[in-house]
Structure 1
């Protein structure tokens, strides 16, 4: 793992001394100020950063606060004089620094402290790798298995992930593993509902009930896995988000959860409406109506991320094969051109019986054109079929 160390101090003599005494033991870089150190950190990964407390312009605490925004996984240490001990102790207690050393400090003491900080960095890096490659990987396999058992949902999870990441980048939010996993597993909740529970083209009330059930189910699944509590909270908050975004670069867990839930709700709505052939203007109106506090930046991101080449299409279904829940893609007309049912109407068993009676009396009726989304919900095994 990386063992590059950065020393930050406005005393050139001290930095030169560190290079002479520790240069052979450590992969060492130096910087004479906080701004110079930040420039280095933007292009180089450091496992440990050791900063002096008292520096002109930007002191050690201010530097570390800014440095954490650039390299949050780096382990930070502070060199301080006796007069700054209370400040250093407070920084340690607040989690800003791993430990502090008081001046004067012998090179071997600094080397030993850096070794401990390096060990801490390695432990945290190993933990992140375990989380990303083991827990998250296992969860991804589980999601793939469930999607395989639900042909209607194959590919939807990946689309939601892509839309989510597009929105995240447009809103200038940092990439986080919690977001990636939450976007992956949301559809698990839908996949584990019955076909009737997870139907499409339903009323807003029914759609909200479906979303609540799906999020509750998905959150219950992931919260059983160690260290995935933040993912469970993001998913659990999706149904109740109002679309507001909070501080983009905040590391506060509650802010991370609120931002993730807002983006995931919008990504899910976009994916579902694209799948149903809804055009952008109508989709944006629905999103704004559903999320009253929708952040302007997120609204603009949603509009820009929405595909411009929506393929609005219907699927013909013979009268004998109609099922309740299919939704009319176009108006259904009877003899003489009279409108029997309007487009967008969900067929009930009563509607279907009347259509069968109409066909029996007239001898022939053309296939009924239904929406692609409702067709795939009713006939998941016929994903590539053109007619039934």
Structure 2
């Protein structure tokens, strides 16, 4: 359940904080912090706050530095500077370095403070609404693309789904603040494979050696995907991650953390699909000096390969539900490859499977990973 928007006042004078709390508690949900260090800790443990109001003159850390750190920790939070030393230089510095939305002098009249906080709350709501709209719209568009990929090339789609779960596990344990772009990149990292022939893909997934021409074509698929995504607004970060998904760290030391995670997950998945055990796969990756970020491999080794939170079950095809994950590839009796191992069941997939079930072209049961919350 989402928390109601609240305001954090930060000042080194407890008397002033008491005044804010008493004067504004009827209009707003108010929290206070005695100094910038306590303020940053509260943002980490009790945030996000819709608005942070900070005094400018505080010991150890001034308000400008503090609000700049607030911006790093909580980019959506609207920041207000309050000071009794209202000179032009301080105002300019606060706006430029702390991304301050409003600059007030103190003592600020109560009606001015209330109007300012109301405007800040509206600004926060707009920012959050725009971000959620962006995330929802973008994810919806991407889902259409991946649903098409699942129909055209189930093996490539299955790989992207497995890699997505791995990448999500690693990003969560590495505590990446922004994981949307990595999630989208993992979803789309195999999209360029629609341009490859079945022969090339079969060789890649089986670990067979490609000839020079096939290798060149295969190596181009990230660039093909990046080119496709260039047509979608605000997808440049996702496009860049995918473009560098096959880079080695030694050759590209400035590659993003997201690209490093994607590279490791892709190569790990290849080894697992060839029948290698989890530990042997990790050892193989570690033996390739200079290719991977060792911090990423450490997290991958400590984890459960993205399968935590699931139990294995054999279920009837009519019992499949969205959110379950195939623990084996699904083929029709007449050898049509419908879904790869590791593919998450979706509404679109179920619609297609129902047609095969009605025509009695499928075996009656299949092994799946069932989310634990399905069993509660």
TM-score (normalizing by structure 1)? 0.69
RMSD: 3.6
Once the two structures are superposed, the pairs formed by residues 119-158 of structure 1 within 5 Å of their partners are 119-158=122-161
**Long gaps (5+) in structure 2:** 308-327, 341-361, 363-376
Match in the other structure for 2:115:
112
SS in structure 2 opposite 1:240?
coil
Give a deviation string over 1:188-229, Cα, whole Å, max 9, x none: 122342223434224376786455322112222222222222
Is structure 2 residue 30 aligned with structure 1 residue 22?
no
Is residue 4–residue 27 contact of structure 1 (8 Å, CA) maintained in 2? yes
Is residue 151–residue 380 contact of structure 1 (8 Å, CA) maintained in 2? no
Which of 7, 10, 18 does residue 8 from structure 1 map onto?
10
Give the whole-Å Cα distance in 1 for the aligned partners of 2:68 and 2:305. 39
Which of 237, 240, 252 does residue 244 from structure 2 map onto?
237
Task: Give the number of the structure whose alpha-carbon radius of gyration is greater.
Answer: 1
State the shift of 1:129 in Å. 0.7
State the shift of 1:298 in Å. 1.9
Is structure 2 residue 93 aligned with structure 1 residue 90?
yes
Give the whole-Å Cα distance in 2 for the aligned partners of 1:383 and 1:33. 56
Q: 1:93 to 1:225 in 2, by over 3 A?
A: same
SS in structure 2 opposite 1:94?
helix
Match in the other structure for 1:295:
293
Give the whole-Å Cα distance in 2 for the aligned partners of 1:173 and 1:262. 13
Is residue 7–residue 28 contact of structure 1 (8 Å, CA) maintained in 2? yes
Match in the other structure for 2:311:
none
Match in the other structure for 1:361:
none
State the shift of 1:243 in Å. 6.8
Is residue 51–residue 79 contact of structure 1 (8 Å, CA) maintained in 2? yes
Which of 234, 237, 242 does residue 227 from structure 1 map onto?
234
State the shift of 1:286 in Å. 4.9
Q: 1:181 to 1:382 in 2, by over 3 A?
A: closer
Is structure 2 residue 337 aligned with structure 1 residue 381?
yes
Give the whole-Å Cα distance in 2 for the aligned partners of 1:305 and 1:206. 37
Is residue 143–residue 184 contact of structure 1 (8 Å, CA) maintained in 2? yes
Once the two structures are superposed, the pairs formed by residues 237-276 of structure 1 within 5 Å of their partners are 237-242=244-249, 258-276=256-274
Q: 1:213 to 1:290 in 2, by over 3 A?
A: farther
Count of residues in Structure 1 that have an aligned counterpart in Structure 2: 312
State the shift of 1:122 in Å. 1.4
State the shift of 1:70 in Å. 3.8
Is structure 2 residue 78 aligned with structure 1 residue 75?
yes
Which of 194, 198, 201 does residue 198 from structure 1 map onto?
201
Give the whole-Å Cα distance in 2 for the aligned partners of 1:266 and 1:147. 23
Once the two structures are superposed, the pairs formed by residues 141-220 of structure 1 within 5 Å of their partners are 141-199=144-202, 200=204, 201-203=207-209, 209=216, 212-220=219-227
SS in structure 2 opposite 1:56?
coil
Q: 1:163 to 1:383 in 2, by over 3 A?
A: closer
SS in structure 2 opposite 1:8?
strand
Is residue 248–residue 292 contact of structure 2 (8 Å, CA) maintained in 1? no
Give a deviation string over 1:40-85, Cα, whole Å, max 9, x none: 3212431011010111233323333443454232111111233665
Give the whole-Å Cα distance in 2 for the aligned partners of 1:28 and 1:170. 32
Is residue 71–residue 98 contact of structure 2 (8 Å, CA) maintained in 1? no
State the shift of 1:96 in Å. 3.2
Give a deviation string over 1:304-334, Cα, whole Å, max 9, x none: 347699xxxxxxxxxxxxxxxxxxxxxxxxx
Give the whole-Å Cα distance in 1 for the aligned partners of 2:250 and 2:107. 53
Give the whole-Å Cα distance in 1 for the aligned partners of 2:97 and 2:130. 22
SS in structure 1 opposite 2:147?
helix
State the shift of 1:38 in Å. 2.9
State the shift of 1:172 in Å. 3.9
Q: 1:98 to 1:206 in 2, by over 3 A?
A: farther
Give a deviation string over 1:274-318, Cα, whole Å, max 9, x none: 112134565346535656153321232233347699xxxxxxxxx
